[in-house]
Amino acid sequence: MQADNTQLFKFRGPWTLFKKEIIRFWRVSFQTVAAPVMTALLYLLVFSHVLDKRVEVYPGVSYTAFLIPGLIMMSLLQNAFANSSSSLIQAKVMGNIIFVLLTPLTYLELFVAFLAASIIRGLVVGLGIYLVAIIFIDLPLAHPIFILAFAILGSALLGAFGIIAGIWADKFDQMAAFQNFIIMPLSFLSGVFYSIHSLPSFWQTVSHLNPFFYMIDGFRYGFFGVGDISPWISLSVIIASFLALSGLTLAMLKSGYKLRG
């Protein structure tokens, strides 16, 4: 019994931080969940209205259907990044980061708690867009396991990147620079609105250097069973990228870089 209580106490700290992060974004869910869903639907309505009858990216797949998985994944990634990065920068600017650092949580437990909350927010936003989108169009689910795998790994990758950004940034405008000059361009140039096979060969090569391309293309493959590249290659790239970013994140947390002193 004593061992069970000790084990339970061991997980209470990261679980509490995880709950705190979930409550933090859910209290403003109109902004953190409803707003991204509305933005994605506006993209869908505008682009589908203009291009649905004029563009067929994959045989038998309408442009509207093609667009929905890309919009889901783009919003999922952006919100996973926003969750961890905004939490850390707010805590640093307001000075209450010290209350997190004073807890007996290890750097690994901090990482897991922030990362898990980012994954949850990303999945909630993605699910919200999916549920609203299928009201307007039937969307096949060719490989649900791939859909779930890319959604979780994608949100985990951006959650880890958000922790790095939140640690590095000292001001809100520095965080805005991450969003405006890294996250947004990589999102829009990743094949959300088009297949990279429609691009000149040079830009196809450049697209293969964008990790967002692999996340979106693999996620889209889960719906239609067709993509611009093998989903196993995409999965390998995402896993390798996540492991690399996780290693960097853990090193920054362990050293206390820009967190202590």
Name which of 162, 160, 166, 207 is nearest 187 in CA terms. Answer: 207
**CA distance linking residue 174 with residue 236, whole number of Å:** 31
Both tokens assigned to 123: 């999945």
pLDDT at 1: 46
- Whole-number pLDDT of residue 2: 46
- ∠ CA 127-129-133, nearest 5°, is 120
Distance CA 112, CA 154 (A): 15
Residue-wise DSSP of 58-74 = BTTB-HHHHHHHHHHHH
Q: How far apart are CA 27 and CA 217, in angstroms?
A: 32
**Structure confidence at residue 68 (pLDDT):** 94
Domain ranges of the chain: 11-255
What is the token pair recorded at 122?
A: 């990303």
Report yes or no on whether pTM surpasses 0.75: yes
Judge whether 126 and 40 are in contact, CB under 8 Å. no
Count the Cβ atoms, other than its own, within 10 Å of residue 13. Answer: 16
DSSP percent split of the chain into helix, strand, coil, nearest 5 = 80, 0, 20
Kindly give the parts of the chain with pLDDT less than 70: 1-10, 52-54, 261
Query: What number of other Cβ atoms are within 10 A of residue 236's Cβ?
Result: 13
Q: In this structure, what token pair is assigned to residue 254?
A: 């362990």
Separation of alpha carbons 45 and 26, rounded Å: 27
**DSSP string over 142-153:** S-HHHHHHHHHH
Looking at residue 45, its pLDDT comes to: 86
In this structure, how many other beta carbons lie within 10 angstroms of the beta carbon of residue 225?
14
Cα separation values, 30 from 77, 125, 252, Å: 18, 11, 32
Residue 261: predicted pLDDT: 58
Q: Which is it for the CA torsion 50, 55, 60, 66, positive or negative?
A: negative
Number of helices (H) and strands (E) in the chain: give both, helices first: 12, 0
The CA radius of gyration of the chain, in Å to the nearest whole number, is 19
For 220, the token pair is: 């889209």
Phi, psi of 58 (to 5 degrees): -115, 145
